[in-house]
DNA sequence: GTCTATAGGCCGATAGAC
DNA sequence: GTCTATCGGCCTATAGAC
């Protein structure tokens, strides 16, 4: 079966998502036009609509699949002690954030540009991720290896602190990834009173 | 001297800034149109241009005056001990953030939509604020009342953590402001190893 | 699968009346 | 100081050719 001239469907689909993710993260969803995305991909604007229903669906898809990836990649170890589990969470979150800085940045920056239906679905996924950390903190308090005034607020505070890494991290900067993770783990451990 | 019919210059100017700040914070700079701002203010779109040169200048003005306010409001006490100074900084930052959540949110969300010239000016102000915290941390390490692996990274981490309060705080929520400040101070104190 | 062309609309900003 | 009217441009999304 002959291929249509110029057909590159196998790469165009993922490429649209990659380029859109990058542009949305750098300029913001509303500031990026479909023409810009198309130009980065190397197709005409109309072609994008063979892959996505509309711009909103593209954003929702990027955010939802990021949250799904994040949840799928995280696995708690209920056998381990709370401090060990927290350390794993911190290192996991930092590593994931540094591997996918655009997706992470986007996912906590562009929730407000989702339609209510899309927002609800993605906020629910985010809530599950937060719960994963919160349960570690509650177990740590119960086991008396952590001192935490308010586990819910501490969860949000720790995630905000860790996610902040995407605001300043640049490849080849002063600190390497292992060192950064080490420093953040020290901060988190201290914050929970361990 | 008779007033021009409908003239309300004394309130229109500040009102434009107030409404723009709110809209930019909620929807993002690029997603808000001048017509939307004008509608909120209660004037026609053209009228806005009697007060501001263009949309970009409006954003830059909001961000710059916020940073100026922040810097003017913060006063360190070099006589006090590092821990006392850190506590004051944490409580100040939380109080300021809860008093002006839109401005704070905007100022760390919309830097990317500034022109390079505006960005440089405002990033410099932000840098001064970060330096205020960093010098406290360095003094704390020197006085051996804090244990910090990397004062620069810790500065950014703490500010990200504290500023995160604008992401979830709602008036009349579960925790009151004093309680929130108390909890964050506990987290910060632990994070710096005190 | 991708293109060209375009519809229909909203955008930022300006000109000039009152 | 504010209005109305409008310019020129860019936007999302679609239609139809190849």
Cβ distance of A160 and B164 shorter than 8 Å: yes
Q: How far is the C-alpha of A71 from the C-alpha of A96, rounded, in Å?
A: 11
Q: How far is CA A97 from CA A15, A92, A153, B74, B108, in A?
A: 21, 8, 21, 32, 18
Write out the H or E segment, with its range, that includes residue B147.
Answer: none
B127–chain A Cβ distance below 8 A for any pair? no
pLDDT digits (tens, 9 = 90+) for A44-95: 999 999 999 999 999 999 999 999 999 999 999 999 999 999 999 999 999 9
Residues 1-20 of A with CB under 7 A from strand C: 4-9, 12
pLDDT digits (tens, 9 = 90+) for A137-190: 999 999 999 999 999 999 999 999 999 999 999 999 999 999 999 999 999 999
Q: How far is the C-alpha of B123 from the C-alpha of B129, rounded, in Å?
A: 10
Helix axes B151-163, B116-142, angle to 10 degrees: 110
Q: Which residues contact B7 (CB under 8 A, 6 or more apart)?
A: none
A9 pLDDT tier (thresholds 50, 70, 90): low
Contact list, B167 vs chain A (CB under 8 Å):
108, 156, 160
- CB contact at 8 A, A159 and B126: no
Nearest to A164 by CA among A97, A99, A110: A97
Alpha helices in A28-81 (DSSP H): 34-41, 55-73
pLDDT tens track of chain B, all 194 residues?
434 556 676 799 999 999 999 999 999 999 999 999 999 999 999 999 999 999 999 999 999 999 999 999 999 999 999 999 999 999 999 999 999 999 999 998 999 999 999 999 999 999 999 999 999 999 999 999 999 999 999 999 999 999 999 999 999 999 999 999 999 999 999 999 99
CB contact residues (below 8 A), chain B span 24-63, against chain A: 26-31
Residues 15-74 of B with CB under 7 A from strand C: 32-36, 45-46, 49, 53-56
CB contact residues (below 8 A), chain A span 8-27, against chain B: 26-27
In this prediction the pTM is 0.95
Structural domains of chain A ordered from first start: 9-52 (1.10.10.60), 58-191 (1.10.357.10)
Q: How far is the C-alpha of B22 from the C-alpha of B102, rounded, in Å?
A: 6
**In the prediction, which pLDDT does A7 show?**
67
């Amino acid at each position: 079966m002959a291929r249509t001239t110029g057909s590159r469907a196998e790469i165009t689909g993922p490429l649209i998502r990659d380029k859109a993710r990058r542009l949305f993260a750098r300029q913001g969803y509303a500031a990026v036009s479909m023409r810009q995305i198309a130009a980065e991909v190397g197709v005409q604007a109309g072609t994008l609509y063979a892959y996505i229903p509309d711009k909103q669906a593209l954003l929702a898809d990027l955010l939802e699949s990021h949250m799904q990836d994040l949840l799928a990649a995280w696995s708690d170890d209920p056998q381990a002690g709370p401090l060990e589990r927290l350390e794993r969470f911190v290192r996991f979150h930092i590593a994931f954030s540094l591997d996918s800085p655009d997706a992470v940045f986007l996912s906590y920056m562009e929730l407000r540009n989702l339609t209510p239906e899309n927002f609800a679905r993605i906020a629910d996924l985010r809530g599950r991720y937060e719960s994963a950390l919160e349960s570690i903190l509650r177990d740590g308090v119960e086991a008396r290896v952590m001192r935490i005034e308010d586990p819910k607020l501490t969860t949000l505070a720790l995630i905000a602190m860790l996610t902040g890494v995407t605001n300043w991290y640049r490849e080849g900067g002063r600190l390497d990834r292992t060192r950064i993770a080490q420093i953040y783990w020290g901060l988190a451990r201290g914050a929970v009173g361990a």
